[in-house]
Amino acid sequence: MRSVFIHSHEVAKFDFGLGHPYKPERAIKAYELCRRYGVMDRPWMKTMAPKPIDTGLLSLFHDEEYLRLLREASTGKVTLDMLAHGIGSEDNPILPGIYEWSLMTAGATYIGMRLIVEGKADVVFNPLGGFHHARRDYAEGFCYVNDVAIAIADVMKSGLKVAFIDIDAHHCNGVQDAFYEEDRALVVSLHETGETLYPGTGRVEEIGGGKGVGYNINIPLAEGTDDEVFVYAFQEVVPPVIRAFEPDLVVAEIGADTLRSDPLTDLMLTNNAYQEVVKAIKGLSQPLLALGGGGYDIYRTARCWTLAWSILNEVEPEDEFAGVVGGMMFGPEMEVSSLYDVPRPTTGRVKEKAFARAKEAVEFIKSKVFPLHGIKR
């Protein structure tokens, strides 16, 4: 196995401003935690710094006028046109250097994809990737440039089939848009239902259009979805469709905002389900490009990514207390005393509702989508 962890302190230090929930520095925390737990130093592992993406590739997904406005916003200029494209909103502030920064994060994902496609790596993790909400001509959900859509669109030009699996708590609206009518890109997303969470899309009925019918799969989940419900929904749907689709490679967005402690979402996972699902994705055994995505409880997100990197490399973190440095636990000591969460299922009505909701989605997919792939239920 050859694996690459894409990392740059400089890129991860980019600041969205005080009070903004998105903290790119989570990537530094994850990188450091991986090192402390001894899962970053095996002979088959490499750390690689990102390079900015060739700007010519941006138009694989984005609109020229939108890119022009983003370049302007990056110099500190503010115009009304920008707001009409989501640039300058509360979620997507006008930040000096945002264009150049987005070129770096899109470049990180692009490099990861090239390493996979050229057979130079079997597994790549880019914690600073997964801007799945960026639209063709609209910035939203903390995303300006859609690294996912660009990298996938690029490899599709050479005829490769790509499966995108998104376990971030939010629906991947930008990526869904990009490949809605495609049958060579399979997009599967598990997320909190749009009835209670941004971006509001990702209904189970959104199964693709034109020749892409059946190649877009959404599993919306209710508030209070816990480990058991999430793993159930994943296992019932994702492995069978990926096997039937036979992709050349898998891109996975492994956001950690499904955790019960996440301040932005209402799902109730612990990192036990997170690990199980990452293991299952790894077990699908295609070359894999993993992208960070969301996660707004930054310490627990760093823990999830450390566990994910360990799973992707089939190594065990050294020991429970390797994270202790100079007597200090990593993160808020009281809360984060080990890499592993204690299982915490939801109960009663909340659990029943979440399970019923997941079953409904699974049944819909089995009856409407499975037959399109020749999968027996």
Kindly tell me which of 85 and 132 has the beta carbon lying closer to Zn ion: 132
Say if strands 288-291 and 123-126 run parallel, antiparallel, or are unpaired: parallel
Complete DSSP assignment for 25-61: THHHHHHHHHHHTT-S--TTEEEE---PPPGGGGGGT
Could you confirm whether 9 is annotated as catalytic?
A: no
Smallest distance from Zn ion to CB 169, Å: 5
Smallest distance from Zn ion to CB 257, Å: 4
The CB-nearest residue to Zn ion is 294
Binding mask 157-176 for Zn ion (x = CB under 5 A): -----------xxx------
Separation CA 179–CA 215 (nearest Å): 9
Separation CA 174–CA 140 (nearest Å): 9
Smallest distance from Zn ion to CB 21, Å: 10
Smallest distance from Zn ion to CB 254, Å: 11
Smallest distance from Zn ion to CB 129, Å: 13
Kindly tell me which of 4 and 172 has the beta carbon lying closer to Zn ion: 172
The answer to whether 73 and 94 are in contact (CB under 8 A) is yes
Kindly tell me which of 45 and 308 has the beta carbon lying closer to Zn ion: 308
Instruction: Scan residues 247-266 and list those touching Zn ion (CB under 5 A).
Output: 255, 257
| Beta strand spans in the chain (E) | 3-6, 45-48, 123-126, 162-166, 185-192, 216-221, 249-253, 288-291
Kindly tell me which of 206 and 257 has the beta carbon lying closer to Zn ion: 257
Count of residues engaged in binding Zn ion, rule: CB under 5 A:
6
The answer to whether 177 and 206 are in contact (CB under 8 A) is no
Smallest distance from Zn ion to CB 77, Å: 29
Query: Residue 192 interacts with Zn ion (CB under 5 A)?
Result: no
Residue 78 exposure: Cα atoms within 13 Å on the Cβ side: 8
Q: Which of 132, 133, 170, 171 is catalytic?
A: 133
Smallest distance from Zn ion to CB 289, Å: 18
Hunting for tokens 């470049």 — which residue is that? 107
Kindly tell me which of 168 and 223 has the beta carbon lying closer to Zn ion: 168
Hunting for tokens 């699902």 — which residue is that? 277
Kindly tell me which of 24 and 323 has the beta carbon lying closer to Zn ion: 24
The answer to whether 221 and 346 are in contact (CB under 8 A) is no
Kindly tell me which of 197 and 336 has the beta carbon lying closer to Zn ion: 197
Give, as one character, the DSSP assignment of residue 269. Answer: B
Where does residue 97 fall: left (phi above 0), alpha (psi -120 to 50 degrees), or beta otherwise?
left
Helix (H) or strand (E) holding 147: helix 147-156
Instruction: Scan residues 289-318 and list those touching Zn ion (CB under 5 A).
Output: 294
Exposed / middle / buried, residue 113 (Cβ in 10 Å: 0-12, 13-18, 19+): buried
Sign of CA dihedral 60, 167, 268, 348: positive
User: Which residues are marked as active site?
Assistant: 133
Chain residues binding Zn ion by CB under 5 A are 168-170, 255, 257, 294
